[in-house]
Structure formats: C-alpha cells, structure tokens
A and B are shown apart, each in its own frame.
Chain A
Amino acid sequence: MNREALVEGWQEYRRSPVAVAALALVVAIALLALLAPWIAPQDPYDQSALDLMDARLEPGSIGSGEYVHWLGTDNAGRDLLSAILYGLRLSLAIAVTAGIVALTVGTAIGLSAAYYGGWFGAVAMRVVDLQLSLPAILLALVLVAVLGQGVPQLMAALVAAQYAYFARTAFGAASAERRKDYVEAALSTPLSGARVLWRHLLPNTLPPLIVVVTVQIATAISLEATLSFLGLGLPVTRPSLGLLIANGFQFMLSGRYWISVYPGIALMVTVLAINLVGDQLRQVINPRRRR
C-alpha cells in the first residue's frame, strides 16, 4: 500500500464524523490502557494495599487512602477507576495479542490453501468452514474447559476460536488474486513460490484482513469478558473487565449498581468504538464503493 492510497483512504474514512470520533475514542482508550500504571490512583493487584474497610464505597466518596474514589470501590476495597484501567489494559492486551496470532496463523493457512490448492487446500478449507459453522463461544468454552484457566490458556482458546475467520478471508482474497495476470507473470519468472506468496499475494490480500482483525479484536474482548464472567477466564487476583462485572453482579440487586455498571460501560464503549472503526474501514476498503 503506498502513501497515496493511504491519503485517499483517510479522505474516504473522514467522511463519517461518527467513525472519526470512534477512532479518536479507540486511540484514547488504548492510551489509557497503556498508561494505566502511571495514571491509576492505586495498584489494584497489590493485595496489601487493599483495605476491606473501603469495600463497596459509593462513587465520589473518600476512603482510607484519602483520595476521592470517583467511581466508587468494589467488594475487595479496590478503587474502581484503577481496577477498570488495569482491567482494560489486561483485556486489550489479551485481545490484541490473540488477534495478531490468529491473523498470522489464519492468513498462513488461507494463503497456502489458495496458493497450493490440491488436496491440502481442500482439506484445510473444509476444516475452516466446519469450524466457522460452530459459534466461537462454544469452541472457546470447550478449550477453556479442556486446557484450564489462565492467560496463556485463554489466549490459546481465543486464537483457536478466531483463526478460521482470517483463514476464510485470506483464502477468498488470495484465490481471486491468484487468477490475475500479475501473479501468473511473477510465477513465470524464476522467483521461488514462497517469494511470490510473500511479496505479491500477501500485500494484496491485506486490506480485507485489516477489517477482519479490527472486528475480531472487538469480538475477542467481548469473548474474554464473557468467559471471565462465566468464571472460566482469568484468575480472580487479576480481574479483567468481565470479572469485575461478574464480581459486582451479586451486589446489583441490593442497589450497589456501580461495581458492575462502570466496568460494563468501559467494556461496551471499547467494543462499540472498535466495531464502528471496523465498519468504516470496511466501507473504505470495499471495492464496490471505489471509483
């Protein structure tokens, strides 16, 4: 992709003010997550700093730390704002890492299936299609059940549940490219097959993959939150957004809504903003809309 195409893409992207706002929001959220250790009033993972006397304080009250808990505290006495920032950091880190690994694995499978074809391509894509017909939540559930809990297991489950989307997209795009003249031309030169794949097929299948990666990161965040909510995700000592919401759930019926609601809003806004960016990227990249 050259500079000109990027500028043109941005011009197209800019046409929706909602999408621009969503992009700004995504950048802001990423910065907040990245800088969490420096901007959060408290380290929520430091068990010794937690005081049970501070548990379930209302938003805006001042606890034993003598600073304002703007969003209140949770049932372990954590400052909720800090817990949300750290939870966001954890959720984003897991989702982005899983998304990138799934992108790499899926693209490798899809591209080689399109390039080599034959029985390998047929079998690989058959497996991918079979997997796509099963909902991601089910696969993730099974894998977490089999592998156990923890960050690496959770990531493995997310990757296994998501690589198929990339494989399908890469296969579709690469199969269309494969038939074009420039690939034939590249193949007729003494360049190796791997080089043609890497230098010619891959760059031309990237745009649709970028859209899929955005959407899949949003899905991964919400999948991770769901698994954690169900008690199958991360350990309790390092709460991600899903776990914070689950912890607050039991206090919701007694009117202490904030423990669940604020992490939930953070989760909702994050996923929504990423999806809006993905939607607009799809519009920009969609070849039918290009003149």
Chain B
Amino acid sequence: MTAFLLGRLAQAALVMLVMSVLVFLGVYAIGNPIDVLIDPAATQAMRAAIIRQYGLDLPLWQQYGHFLGNVLRGDFGNSFVFRIPVLPLILSRLPATLELTVLALLIAAAFGIPLGIWAGYRPEARSSRAIMALSTLGFSVPTFWIGLLLILFFTVELRWLPSGGRGPVGWLGLSIWTREGWTHLLLPALNLSLFKLGLLIRLVRAGTEEVMGSEHVRFARAQGLPERQVVGLHVLKNIGIPIVTIFGLEFGSTLAFAVVTETVFNWPGMGKLVIESITSLDRPVMVAYLILVVLLFVAINLFVELTYGLLDPRVRAR
C-alpha cells in the first residue's frame, strides 16, 4: 500500500509541475504584462526599474523558477485590479462556490441514483423511457440556457425566487443558515445540478442494467430474497464503485462549470471572479485560479484512486 501511495503521489506532483509550466507559459509568456502594469506615460528609466522589480528582464526559465518558488510559498502576487494578494482574494470567494457545488451534487445524487436504478431495473417501461428522455435533455441543453429559463419561470413569471445574488452570509462564510440564503441558493444549485443529473442517470442505469443480468443477482433471486433486498443490497453495492468515482471526478468539473451558473445568477463565487479577471486581463488571478483548480483536480483524482485501492484490493496489486 505504501508503494502504491508513494507512486501515486509522485505522479500527482509531476502532473502539477507540468501544468504549472503550461499555465506559466500560456498566461505569462504570451502577451506582455508590462503594458498592463506600467502607465504608458512612464519614462524609460521607470519602465526599466519596474521590469527589473518584477524580474521580467530575466531569462524565461529563471522567471519560471521565481514564479514556482513564490507559488510554493503560497504567493501568487497581487491582483492588478483589486490591488490585494490573489490567494486570499480567491479563497474569500471559495465558500460561495463550494456551497453551490456541493448542493448541486447532492440534488443530482438524490434524484439521479434512484431514477437511474429504476430505469436500469425496468428498461422497457414507459416511465424509464421518460427518465432517459429527461437525462438526454439534461445534458443536451446548455447550462446557461437552462439558467435563463429558470429565471424566466421562477422569477419573472411566478415571482417566487430572486433572480440572482447571494443571501446573508453567516458562519464559515456560508449562506445556508437563513431562509433568505436558501431562496438565493436554490435556483443556481438546481441549474448547476441538471447536467450532472443527466449524466448520473445514464451511468447508474448502465451499471444497474449490467448488474441485473449478472449471475449473483440471479442467485440472490433464486435464494428467494425479496426484490427490494436484491436491488438495495446486491445491485447498489456493485454500482457503488463507479458512483464514488463519478462523484469524485464530477465534483471538480462541477466546480469548473459553476463559472457559467455563477455568471447567470450573479453569484459572487470563484467562477465569476475568474470571468471578470479574464475580461479585465488580471493575470495573477487567472494563473492562481487555474493552478488551484488543477491542484484540486489532481487531489480529487488521487483521492478517488486511493479510495479505489481501499474498496477493491485488485487495484492495489496492479
């Protein structure tokens, strides 16, 4: 197990290193940050001084070295727009994005798993076909468009829920403590969950269909176990691993997709911040966001693989 763990950790570190090089080259080497930083009226001497101050006169690999050194110490520089250190800026937006993402995934799981099991258990039933149609609709229709429809329906027509923004923030920077917080949270979370819901239904259905046809389910039935137990115990256990994986992996991509939902619903999270940083060419924020998201992805992948190792000893042996 230790060798497995060390191997995976080394791999994750390598991926992070490669990604940091790519992000650095992509964002820093293309285009010139000097024009953003320096007043066009500055004299040659001032220009040179600032270029030296930021280390922009050094060869590229040395610049990268500085960048990497700073990043490892948690220093991503200052935002060009907000004039404050980037890391605290991004982290201050993290709770908003996290609560949105987690709630979206919970909604997707709460509906997706039972619906998927039903559709896989009775693949020919009319209700199952309806579920599958819903699933296709869920990931065919672009997220931002569903968001607009939700606003049109629940805000403009019914006037039930606010169209955007975030409710009062309480403990841990979360807005889930008040009723008003929830009214703001509900629509964006629903919006973000629909794509995942569509995906989850398909995966659970495929898994259920496969397990239902297997020997051990037939055996369980032959034993005379009630159907509820067959599905609840034998089927659920066997589709468990893929669901854990998908959940882990989708957490990261949901976080990335939150960019769209946050823009539609004017939700003050990390995604909205990064869109603003792209339109205002705020490079340090872009770089820090990307590196943090990739770090998150690598960490999640690692975690999922390790969970695999725990759930299924065959993975460790490989």
What is the number of residues of chain B that contact chain A, defined by CB distance less than 8 Å?
40
Contacts of A232 in B (CB 8 A): 275, 278-279
**Nearest CB on A from B199, distance (A):** 12
Check B156 for interface membership: any CB of A closer than 8 A: yes
Chain B 145-158 against A: per-residue CB contact (8 Å), 1 yes, 0 no? 10011011001100
Check B3 for interface membership: any CB of A closer than 8 A: no
A245 pairs with B136, CB closer than 8 A:
no
Closest to A224 in B: B142
Contacts of B294 in A (CB 8 A): 134
Query: Which of A218, A230, A242, A249 lies in contact with B140, CB distance below 8 A?
Result: A218
**Nearest CB on A from B263, distance (A):** 6
**Nearest CB on B from A229, distance (A):** 5
Check B88 for interface membership: any CB of A closer than 8 A: no
Q: How far is the CA of A245 from the CA of B151 in the complex (A)?
A: 14
B142 pairs with A267, CB closer than 8 A:
yes
Check B96 for interface membership: any CB of A closer than 8 A: no
B260 pairs with A253, CB closer than 8 A:
no
Within 8 A of A (CB), among B235-268: 249, 252-253, 256-257, 259-260, 263
Chain B 274-288 against A: per-residue CB contact (8 Å), 1 yes, 0 no? 110011000000100
B136 pairs with A272, CB closer than 8 A:
yes
Check B121 for interface membership: any CB of A closer than 8 A: no
A137 pairs with B145, CB closer than 8 A:
no
Closest to B263 in A: A230
A146-B26, A230-B275, A271-B140 known; A135-B149 Cβ under 8 A: no
A-B contact count (CB 8 A): 99
What is the number of residues of chain A that contact chain B, defined by CB distance less than 8 Å?
37
**Nearest CB on B from A122, distance (A):** 13
Check B295 for interface membership: any CB of A closer than 8 A: no
B278 pairs with A145, CB closer than 8 A:
yes
B145 pairs with A268, CB closer than 8 A:
yes
Q: How far is the CA of A142 from the CA of B259 in the complex (A)?
A: 12
Contacts of B36 in A (CB 8 A): none
Check A141 for interface membership: any CB of B closer than 8 A: yes
Check A264 for interface membership: any CB of B closer than 8 A: yes
Within 8 A of B (CB), among A105-134: 130, 133-134
Within 8 A of B (CB), among A234-270: 242, 245, 249, 252-253, 255, 257, 260-261, 264, 267-268
Chain A contact residues, CB within 8 Å of chain B: 130, 133-135, 137-138, 141-142, 144-147, 218, 222, 225-226, 229-232, 242, 245, 249, 252-253, 255, 257, 260-261, 264, 267-268, 271-272, 275-276, 279
